[in-house]
Structure 1
Amino acid sequence: MAIGEKRSCVLSVAVESPMDYLVICLASLAVSGLTLFSGFRLGTVLAPVMAVFFPVETAVAMTAVVHFANNLLKLAMFRRAASLQVVLRFGIPALLASLAGAWLLVRISDMQPLLRYFLLGRQLEVAPVKLLVGLLIAIFAVLEFRPGKGSKPYPPSSLPLGGVLSGFFGGLSGNQGAFRSAFLLGAGLDKEAFIATGVVLACLVDASRLTVYAAMAGSVMISGNLGLVVTATLSAFLGVFIGARVLKKVTIKTVRLLVGSLLLGLAAALCLGLV
């Protein structure tokens, strides 16, 4: 079987069970609401949830669509406050690096498993793409808990470096927000400009990596699950609406601890080939 044929077979998995469909949409709703308070980003949390039901590369691509749509909504609201200078200095390197990260994700999805083993009568495989994405998810989850997070912002001169890091890891695993926020904090932006500039940059990375996913893997990544993508996107919108009203009673520390623990658990499952 040719590489292209293999990729199409792997990526065209579709959810058929109504229960799985419901779980993904509820997860999108809950994750979208929780990220308002936890410090974690939608893509960071939703991608590993999607990976329970889909191959990792498909999960990242589908999450990118939901993430992109969510950011387009924010872009319509905040775009006028964005800093053009920061967008250019950070965004151009991020866009180019995201192409490289997305290319690498699709390429390693074709690699053979590193390890096969049996557990409770099941044969499990540790695939390179699952191991890599699982490790990245775990690293970004731990970074969110580090003491003094954000207390030492990077200088404005490091914006291109931040763009490269944010774009590359955004294309590879969907985790772009942590680096983006860390480097934008030192750019001297006010609150409105910080939010708007971050949204513009996120849209640039999402658009570029989705182009690579589509070009290298065809439309099979989401073609069989278009309805699910649309519903998950609408669920994410609803999650923001509900989260802003319901979760005010929950402490940020509690939510971050819960989300971080779930992320680490899912990361371990990916690395061990359990999902």
Structure 2
Amino acid sequence: MNISYPFLLLALLAEIIGTVGGFGSSVFFVPIGNFYFDFHSVLGLTAVFHLSSNLSKIALFRKGLDKKLLLYIGLPSALFVILGGILSKYLQSYWLEILLGIFLVAMSLVFLIKKDLIIPPNKKNATLGGVFSGFSAGLLGTGGAIRGLTMAAFNLEKSVFIATSAAIDMMIDLTRTVVYYQNGFIHQHDMVYVPFLFVIGLVGSYLGKQLLDYIPQVKFRMISLVLILLIGLISIGKQFLT
């Protein structure tokens, strides 16, 4: 059984940092996975990995879900992840990785420069946030940051925020797992990682929750943004150097 243990360790770190930083693990997991697998395989693994990750977050932060946001953000997310997932089949991995790198760089710079960026909390913006986060999740494997920015406008209590975000993510992952399977992105030889990633999703979410009690999320969020910026630049540079 040929397993990359450095990849599993990095997946655990991605889950911990994603939980504490509030962006979700995929923003780190997808570019990290690109160094070990082809992009389409990473999309398939990300969907499966997130299922366990989000189940654990819902269990750990079960202080109530915001049902209105589940409707306004979750439903359009689940619909548009289908469109993004279908399009990912027709774009070459080279361009998908460059798009991912540009997305990560742009997103991190926006958050770093506009520290007080606020989206007005209304139904229209919630729906648009769901559309863009779902489409990005389907096409590039990550859309949690867009969803996080949209949800932040509603000033939710921290545990409600994480549980609601995880529930929306679960809707996205269940949908895109089916699409990615139909696309042929979920390969039999990659399934050896699934049990490990399932455990990592549980352990990483738990450790992230513990760290939240000791580290202010604002500070950790800033560190996460710098890491996302660097990962985005590396993702772009990797395509031009290979």
- Paired position in structure 2 for 1:264: 232
Tell me, in whole angstroms, the C-alpha distance in 1 between the residues paired with 2:159 and 2:205: 18
* Secondary structure class of the residue paired with 1:107: coil
2:172 to 191, 205, 208: 205
The answer on 1:147 being equivalent to 2:114 is: yes
Superposed counterparts of 1:1-275, under 5 Å: 16=2, 18=3, 21-78=4-61, 81-109=64-92, 127-149=94-116, 151-157=117-123, 158-187=125-154, 189-217=156-184, 221-243=186-208, 248=214, 252=220, 255-256=223-224, 259-272=227-240, 274=242
Q: Summarize the Cα distance change of 1:261–1:88 in structure 2 as closer, same or farther, 3 Å threshold.
A: closer
Percent identity, please: 23
Q: Is the 8 A contact 2:52 2:198 kept in 1?
A: yes
Q: Summarize the Cα distance change of 1:142–1:233 in structure 2 as closer, same or farther, 3 Å threshold.
A: farther
Q: Is the 8 A contact 1:162 1:179 kept in 2?
A: yes
Q: CA offsets per residue over residues 32-86 of structure 1, 9 Å max, x none?
A: 2223444442000011111111111211221221122100122234456112222
* Secondary structure class of the residue paired with 1:221: coil
Measured after TM superposition, the shift of residue 179 of structure 1 is 1.4
Long gaps (5+) in structure 2: none
> Which range moves more in the overlay, 88-97 or 30-39?
30-39
Long gaps (5+) in structure 1: 1-14, 111-126
* Secondary structure class of the residue paired with 1:81: coil
Number of residue pairs aligned between Structure 1 and Structure 2:
238
For normalisation by structure 2, the TM-score amounts to 0.84
Q: Summarize the Cα distance change of 1:146–1:66 in structure 2 as closer, same or farther, 3 Å threshold.
A: farther
Q: Summarize the Cα distance change of 1:273–1:205 in structure 2 as closer, same or farther, 3 Å threshold.
A: farther
Q: Is the 8 A contact 1:68 1:203 kept in 2?
A: yes
* Secondary structure class of the residue paired with 1:92: helix
Q: Is the 8 A contact 1:154 1:185 kept in 2?
A: no
Q: Summarize the Cα distance change of 1:38–1:213 in structure 2 as closer, same or farther, 3 Å threshold.
A: same
